[in-house]
Chains A and B, each alone.
Chain A
């Protein structure tokens, strides 16, 4: 085929009549610059295309209308001047698809057509490539040559064959499309069930191989072409495209040593003459690095939990507490003054009261402070939680909240302070308890992305065992690991989360670090979802906090320093504004003193996240869907 054939497609393109494949967070690379977008296989009238649309860097409306899109002859040695334009290629022009090793082995392919080589396309997951190939098989007949699928233009793909068969007859196009749709559903189902075929090998054996950077390649033959060792190589059936997960796990960096505890002596140096806390950033960094001395927590936590502003004077704090005392009494009296007659007509109140009563009775009763019949501290927990229901009427009481309050009351041993500290804590995590579960499901999705990025062998195992919903971490994330650690450990863990200097949700990295610590038994014992859930639940109180925190911090810096952080992690988890990928590495600075924490609301406002683009297209929401549809039967 010639260029002329390609460009003929430019004219008067019909609307999309069918979508066969869609994947988000697919990156195209020119030289060192990657742009994320949506990759689709779709049909416009009689012609099928692969199309890629960038998320945000290219304003389609300002540059050309949707219908004006054309096949853009990319020269992979040139960098486009304005962002990355969308890409559209007729499927009939595809000559070959080559699996390539991306930076650190991410799943990517190079598509060549009759007239050009497209930029390297990075997919979020190996199975995205697998599904794409399955989909394209409908249009094209492939012959496999090592890691390349070459199109046999003399044979038609299944789709074309079907069309010819049906369209010659009297069937309306609608009927044909229905038939095709059914057929594609079959393919999709087969693909999903066949995901376990995805071969995961060569891990580690490509380490150290020169990674060919897109753009540096000048000809097909010059491309690094790893031939897997014979004993590792799966022999695919003829024409089948066996996918190799070429990614190597993120190298384990040495754990960051914990610093000295933040002590009374240091704390006293942080006050000015009127009692304001100064050098707050330094103080937070110290607590983050080494935790608070246990005796100091009562003094420091009211600031960490926003009971007092850091810049309040001693005098102002006394006034604040006076005010909060009054407010607490008002809230408490609201529920205490509900008469029995009123209560009869107040189902919501009765339900809440029953829940709170049931839960305080079984919260941390093994601790001395809460032990024994008629322990007054249990009644105090009840009072504080009922008062919180008045304070945050929309939320009320949800199971798990008593777990967050109990350590605070144990620490302060003062209802008033514990209550307001709890209010401050709940302000941070209340979305965990919302009815729609979106927050927790989003966190589980983010955790999934991180584990996938850091350790695809572990991830692949979880996926194979229907566990990539990460539901076994639900308890960790819902109550910030409260059930996993005891005593001072949970307090130290929480203050680390609250003082994290990075603009990220540190709990995700803690969870990832624990999972990476436990990866070997999970993989080697071939644990299924049930096994993993039990194993993770049984880790409770057996996790070494210092080891976890050291590993978490090194993991965080390790990820931050990688040159190829996927869009989702970069934007939604690390919340790094878009920068050329190559410059990310230089931002790494193991020194925590770098002030990089930006106020979250602002950041969230100007960053375009994949969630903003389209609710239904959000990979996280897809995972949510996955979660809710997922059968957790133990594999037979």
Chain B
């Protein structure tokens, strides 16, 4: 938080907003990653996502507040045709696979290809090898995921929605990569940090995104 007086009175600088979409095979942990990131919770038996879900969460990176508008999608191939609705226009994507399931890694690769073809050219993509807590059952080596990510210029991390390992880090790394053009800098040219906790608590309620 800036110690200098704000000249704009109580008005806070608007957070930068970014549309982020989660993609990946069914049951790799997309909804669990979002739930961990947004609400700090984990449900062992998180129910399937039907249609899509929408949540928001903010992170502060280098003094800049970034608000993620997160679109969580259904993973089953059957519902693939709906995905473009959600990734179109997205500035960021997290493509998730399950490190204990090789097929899901292959599926992740095909998502990368699809986004290369169909999504915004400047989209920031992170590849997340989830279920790191089950690394004793690992079927995809970390080096393999890492090499693929490097080759395709993706952020890469192994995560665990269950333990929380690396979950916020993925979002923070994405936030770092996103353009930081201030929509309206305040008079000091400084951004004001929005209290993360308060935002997190509000984040789950209806009707509180993007219209504030």
Contact = CB atoms under 8 A, between A and B. Distances in A.
A628 B78 CA distance: 15
Contacts of B71: 530, 632
A478 B50 contact: yes
Contacts of A538: 204-206
Interface string B26-67: 110000000000000000111110111111000000000000
B128 to A, nearest CB: 18
Contacts of B45: 361-362, 365-366
Contacts of A366: 45
A527 B51 contact: no
B121 to A, nearest CB: 16
A478 B76 CA distance: 14
Contacts of B205: 538
Given A361-B45, A630-B85, A632-B86, A399 B55 contact: no
Given A362-B46, A363-B47, A634-B210, A533 B76 contact: no
A531 B84 CA distance: 19
Contact of A631 (B26, B69, B88, B103): B88
Interface in B191-212: 204-211
A479 B50 contact: yes
Interface in A615-635: 627-628, 630-635
B79 interface: yes
Contact of B51 (A475, A627, A635): A475
Nearest to B103: A354
B74 interface: yes
B206 A399 contact: no
Nearest to B98: A358
A177 interface: no
Q: Interface size bucket, A side?
A: 35 or more
A631 B207 contact: no
Interface range on chain B (Cβ under 8 Å from partner):
35 or more
Interface string A340-380: 00000000000000110011011111100000000000000
A474 B75 CA distance: 15
Contact of A474 (B48, B51, B54, B78): B51
B198 to A, nearest CB: 18
B6 interface: no
A156 interface: no
A131 to B, nearest CB: 24
Contacts of A324: none
Contacts of A531: 54, 206-211
A525 B51 contact: no
A608 interface: no
A292 to B, nearest CB: 26
18 contacts: A354-B103, A355-B26, A365-B47, A398-B76, A399-B48, A399-B76, A400-B50, A471-B85, A474-B51, A531-B207, A533-B53, A533-B54, A534-B53, A534-B206, A534-B207, A537-B54, A634-B69, A635-B210
Given A399-B50, A527-B211, 19 more contacts: A361-B45, A366-B45, A398-B78, A399-B79, A400-B48, A402-B48, A471-B51, A475-B51, A483-B47, A528-B209, A531-B207, A531-B209, A534-B54, A537-B53, A538-B204, A538-B205, A632-B85, A633-B19, A634-B69
